Every structure is written in structure tokens, then in C-alpha cells.
């Protein structure tokens, strides 16, 4: 049992705790039997590598086309941008730099799209597949805790996506050559892709733990993602728009209220990582002094960029779905857990002794 237990952090400085905690988490991931088993299984099938190569080639081709298109239209753009810049008082962004960041955003969005496809389709069959193969019970009766199972299944199903993301980094880095892309943006791009993978993977694992067949788990995960990331935000933003549109009667719609509305819309839209990346890029281009995490309408204002908001929302999504998945994997009903929990602390040692000795003696 000892191998998997997180090292107990001793009472000490905050700074001392954190690395030990991260180290412990890393050790527990590295020794998670499920990750080892699943990865070995995945390595066995060569098509994984073939897929990876195909994807990298496709992504490079896509990048090349993007690059050429922008190059060719650069001449027109530079003329238009002259006029554009006159009107929009923000002449700081030279055209060539916009090219770099646009190229980068396109690559990231392509990868996000891939994550939307890959993460659920890898994670949704994992636990339901064990049920189908009838290996679920024997996995449950081992000493693996439900959270070991969930974490093991999640990370092993995302390993491939992580590989693809890392393979995409050099292709996205070409944007550096074109200029207009800060290293923080590149890091943010990679983080957003990985967090997207984690959230979609968590949704897949949740449905996998709830369903008995991998086909239904897969279908439900995709529907869930479609509603949560695309249809839902669109509908809400549309509804907000309709509800709070300044009509001729209420034309004194204050800028304060309008800003609040915009802010709310930005929160809702930031569920979607593609929106978050694209809009943050727009903000970076148009508002000097902002970075990937914060921006402001005035130099004194600090607002969260869509990327930051996306990260907040995603943490919530990941937490809720994984938590639900863990409670699904416990074979025992939650009522009983609650009863056990309430009865145990009240009478500690005596209750366990009475429980076990009375019927035996």
C-alpha cells in the first residue's frame, strides 16, 4: 500500500509544502497501475504513431497554407491597415506582427478542434469498456481507490492528446519568426489546449463511469460537450443580447450597465476555449499594456482576459465531473456512505469493537 500514498507534508513553510505535494502527485501518477497498463496497451498498437505522424503533417500543411495566404494578401492588408489604423487610433500593431499572431491562433484553434474530437473519444470508452469486458468488478475489488481509477483512466486517455499537443508546438512556434507573438501567448496556447483536453476528458470519464456501454458513454459525452461548450453559451449570449438590448425607450442605457453586460457575456463565452483564444488575441492586438491574463479599458483597470476566465471555468468543470465520476465508481450507495460517516465519528473505537465482536463472540 505504501507505494501509492502521497507523502504526508510536514507542518512547515508553505513553500516547502508545494514542491513535495507536486512531487507526491507526480509519483502517484507515475506509479498508477492503470496508467502503466493503458499506456502499454496503447503502445502495442502502432496506428497511434501513424496517426500522430499524419496529424503533424496535416497541421504543418495547414500552417503552410495559412502562411502563404497571409503573405500574398500582405500587400493589400498593409494598405488597408493604414486606413484601418487611422480610424482605430491603435497604430501600434504593425501588419506583419498581426500575421504571426493570426497564424498562431489558427494553429491553436485547429488543435483545440482536434482536442474536442480526441479527448472524449479516448476517455469515454475507458471505464464503460471495463464494464463491457467484465473486468470492472475485479478492478473495483483491488486496493485501487475510485480516485486512483479515475485519475489513471483520465491521464492515460489524455497521454496521446498531450503528445499531439507537444508535436504541434514547433509548428505553432513558426509564428515567432513572423513576429507579434509573445512567449506568454505560446505558453497560454499550450495550457489552454491541455486544459481543454482535461475538461473534455473529465466529461468523457464521467459518462464512462455513469454508463454501462462505451457507445452510449461516447454519445452522451459528445452531446454534453456540444451543449456545454457551443450551444449553451451561444444561446445564453443571444438571450442576454435580446433581453438587454438598449431600445429607443431606454436609450439611456448606462455605459456602466453596458460594461456589465459585456462582462457577463465574456464570462459565458469563455467556456469555449476557441473563443477564449481568438478573443484574447484580439484584445492583445488592440489594447496596449494588456497581457494574456489581464487587460483593461483604462490603464488602471485589470480585467480577466477570456483565457483567464476559461481557466477558471475549466477548473470548475474538471472538478465537478471528476468528483461525480469518483462517486459513480464507488459500488456502494451514497446513502450508506452518509450513514456510515455520521455514525462513525460519534462513537469511535467502541463502535467498531462492538460491531465486530458482538456477533462473533
Partner 1 sequence: METLEETSPSQTADYTVKADHLSKTFGSFEAVRDVTLEIEPGAIYGFIGPNGAGKTTTMRMLATLLEPSDGEAWVCGLSINDHHQENLAALRACIGYMPDFIGIYDKMTCREYLEFFAAAYFIEPKRRAGLINDLLELVDLSAKKESYIEGLSRGMTQRLALARTLIHDPKLLLLDEPASGLDPRARVELRELLKELSRMGKTIIISSHILTELTEMCSHVGIIERGTLLASGKVSDILGKLNQHMRIVKLRIRPIKAEKVEVLRGILLNGPGVKAVRPLDSQPLTDWEVQVEGNEAELNQLLRYFVEKNVPLFGFAEQPTNLEEIFLQVTKGYVS
Provide the binding-site residues for partner 1, judged by CB under 8 A: 1-4, 31, 33-34, 36-37, 40-41, 44-45, 130, 133-145, 330-333, 336-337, 340, 344, 352-353, 355-357, 359-361
Nearest CB to partner 1, comparing residues 130 and 279: 130
Q: How far is the CB of 341 from partner 1 (least distance, A)?
A: 8
Nearest CB to partner 1, comparing residues 39 and 240: 39
Question: Cα(335)–Cα(265) distance, rounded to whole angstroms?
Answer: 39
8-state DSSP, 244:
T
For 205, residues 6+ apart whose C-beta sits below 8 A from its C-beta are: 123, 124, 126, 127, 150, 153, 154, 157, 321, 322, 325
Give CA 284 to chain center in angstroms.
22
Nearest CB to partner 1, comparing residues 14 and 133: 133
Q: How far is the CB of 145 from partner 1 (least distance, A)?
A: 7
Torsion, Cα 262 263 265 268, to 10 degrees, reads 170
Residue among 276, 281, 261 at smallest CA distance from 314: 276
Alpha helices in the chain (DSSP H): 14-30, 33-44, 47-87, 95-133, 136-140, 146-178, 183-210, 214-225, 232-243, 255-269, 273-286, 306-329, 334-346, 349-360
Nearest CB to partner 1, comparing residues 133 and 300: 133
Question: Cα(154)–Cα(169) distance, rounded to whole angstroms?
Answer: 22
Asked whether the beta carbons of 104 and 181 are under 8 A apart, the reply is yes
Q: How far is the CB of 224 from partner 1 (least distance, A)?
A: 27
Nearest CB to partner 1, comparing residues 80 and 145: 145
Q: How far is the CB of 31 from partner 1 (least distance, A)?
A: 7
Nearest CB to partner 1, comparing residues 287 and 330: 330
Nearest CB to partner 1, comparing residues 298 and 348: 348
C-alpha dist (Å) from residue 141 to 137, 279, 294, 331, 356 = 6, 48, 48, 10, 21
Asked whether the beta carbons of 103 and 67 are under 8 A apart, the reply is yes
Asked whether the beta carbons of 203 and 221 are under 8 A apart, the reply is yes
For 329, residues 6+ apart whose C-beta sits below 8 A from its C-beta are: 127, 140, 146, 149, 150, 209
Q: How far is the CB of 158 from partner 1 (least distance, A)?
A: 20
Q: How far is the CB of 51 from partner 1 (least distance, A)?
A: 17
Q: How far is the CB of 26 from partner 1 (least distance, A)?
A: 17
Q: How far is the CB of 3 from partner 1 (least distance, A)?
A: 5
Nearest CB to partner 1, comparing residues 301 and 353: 353
Grid cell at residue 42: 496503447
C-alpha angle 354-332-318 in degrees, rounded to nearest 5: 130
8-state DSSP, 228:
I
Nearest CB to partner 1, comparing residues 69 and 135: 135
Q: How far is the CB of 356 from partner 1 (least distance, A)?
A: 5
Amino acid at each position: 500500500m505504501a507505494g501509492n500514498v502521497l507523502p504526508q507534508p510536514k507542518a512547515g513553510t508553505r513553500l516547502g509544502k508545494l514542491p513535495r505535494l507536486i512531487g507526491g502527485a507526480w509519483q502517484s501518477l507515475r506509479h498508477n497501475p492503470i496508467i502503466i497498463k493503458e499506456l502499454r496497451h496503447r503502445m502495442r498498437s502502432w496506428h497511434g504513431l501513424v496517426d500522430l505522424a499524419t496529424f503533424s503533417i496535416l497541421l504543418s500543411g495547414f500552417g503552410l497554407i495559412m502562411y502563404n495566404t497571409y503573405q500574398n494578401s500582405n500587400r493589400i492588408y498593409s494598405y488597408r491597415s493604414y486606413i484601418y489604423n487611422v480610424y482605430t487610433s491603435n497604430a501600434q500593431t504593425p501588419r506583419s506582427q498581426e500575421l504571426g499572431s493570426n497564424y498562431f491562433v489558427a494553429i491553436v484553434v485547429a488543435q483545440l478542434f482536434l482536442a474536442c474530437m480526441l479527448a472524449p473519444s479516448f476517455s469515454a470508452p475507458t471505464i464503460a469498456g471495463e464494464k463491457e469486458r467484465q473486468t470492472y468488478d475485479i478492478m473495483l475489488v483491488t486496493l485501487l481507490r475510485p480516485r486512483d481509477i479515475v485519475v489513471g483512466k483520465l491521464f492515460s486517455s489524455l497521454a496521446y492528446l498531450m503528445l499531439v499537443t507537444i508535436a504541434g508546438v514547433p509548428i505553432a512556434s513558426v509564428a515567432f519568426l513572423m513576429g507579434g507573438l509573445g512567449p506568454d501567448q505560446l505558453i497560454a496556447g499550450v495550457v489552454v489546449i491541455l486544459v481543454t483536453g482535461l475538461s473534455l476528458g473529465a466529461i468523457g470519464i464521467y459518462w464512462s463511469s455513469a454508463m454501462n456501454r462505451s457507445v452510449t458513454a461516447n454519445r452522451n459525452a459528445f452531446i454534453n460537450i456540444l451543449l456545454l461548450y457551443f450551444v449553451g453559451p451561444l444561446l445564453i449570449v443571444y438571450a442576454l443580447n435580446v433581453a438587454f438590448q438598449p431600445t429607443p425607450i431606454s436609450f439611456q442605457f448606462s455605459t456602466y450597465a453596458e460594461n456589465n453586460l459585456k462582462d457577463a457575456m465574456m464570462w459565458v463565452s469563455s467556456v469555449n476555449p476557441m473563443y477564449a483564444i481568438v478573443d484574447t488575441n484580439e484584445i492583445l492586438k488592440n489594447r496596449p499594456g494588456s497581457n494574456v491574463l489581464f487587460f483593461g479599458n483604462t490603464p488602471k483597470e485589470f480585467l480577466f482576459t477570456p483565457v483567464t476566465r476559461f481557466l477558471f471555468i475549466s477548473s470548475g468543470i474538471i472538478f465537478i465531473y471528476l468528483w461525480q465520476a469518483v462517486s459513480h465508481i464507488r459500488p456502494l450507495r451514497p446513502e450508506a456512505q452518509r450513514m456510515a460517516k455520521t455514525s462513525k465519528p460519534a462513537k469511535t473505537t467502541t463502535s467498531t469493537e462492538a460491531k465486530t465482536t458482538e456477533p462473533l463472540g
